[in-house]
Structure 1
């Protein structure tokens, strides 16, 4: 199943956070987990997807920068 578009993920995340903040308990102290542990696996997967996308962008921009630099040397 393909992942949802980023805009849809953002919208659903906003709705989830809004609903959770209305119903959920507030953290009692700094460092108190604000989300239940059940969310950990989902948050970890989301973090991995975001990290992979960021690394792909970095590789792409890096390769373009090297290609531009080499092109300038040839001229």
Structure 2
């Protein structure tokens, strides 16, 4: 009897941690992806603005850590 209870507890915890017990996670996932895409688009527009405005702050916030070397 106790052994059967432990087997049930094991499968219950397994289903909880595998995510089958909470189907809401799959519904909440596309919102997270859209937020990620929005952040990527914001980064791209910021990069374009960095190329357009060549100020110190835009260089500070650009993605490249090293400054570009000029061609001789």
Q: What TM-score comes out, normalization by structure 2 length?
A: 0.46
Q: What TM-score comes out, normalization by structure 1 length?
A: 0.44
Greater RCO between the two (CA within 8 Å, min separation 6)? 2
